[in-house]
Amino acid sequence: MTNFAAELEHVTDYWTPRVVGEVNDQYVKVAKLKGEFVWHTHENEDELFLIVYGTLVIQLEHREDVVLTPGEFFTVPKGVRHNPVAAEEVGIVLIETKTTLHTGDIVTDRSVPIDRQVG
């Protein structure tokens, strides 16, 4: 049994997803976000955002922003360029294919390799 709120208490760094579970070929991760991330695309993979606390705005290229509050989720479809923005700290759950790079096609100093996200 895994409790999202309890797992988020263990997270100390923003924009650093932490793997807390899996289902089939997908990882379940928690992350704390604050501020703006970086525009990026996952060419072949969807990415699901679920909110535990706070408010997250997902900016999408050529589409309206999606505003998410606790208990709400949105799946960014593969190939859609997006940028998560959190005015205040937000605690989220991410579900994405185990091979997904969280910064997508962009490698920045924000990129956290998967071996640092697991365990």
Binding site for a second copy (CB under 8 A): 1-5, 21-26, 28, 45-48, 52, 66-68, 71-75, 78, 95-97
Closest approach, Cβ 37 to a second copy, in A, equals 19
Q: Which helix (H) or strand (E) holds 114?
A: helix 114-117
| 67 versus 87: smaller Cβ distance to a second copy | 67
- CB of 105 closer than 8 Å to CB of 82: no
Closest approach, Cβ 109 to a second copy, in A, equals 27
Closest approach, Cβ 36 to a second copy, in A, equals 20
Q: How many CB atoms lie within 10 A of CB 95?
A: 19
Nearest-angstrom CA–CA distance, 27 and 89: 22
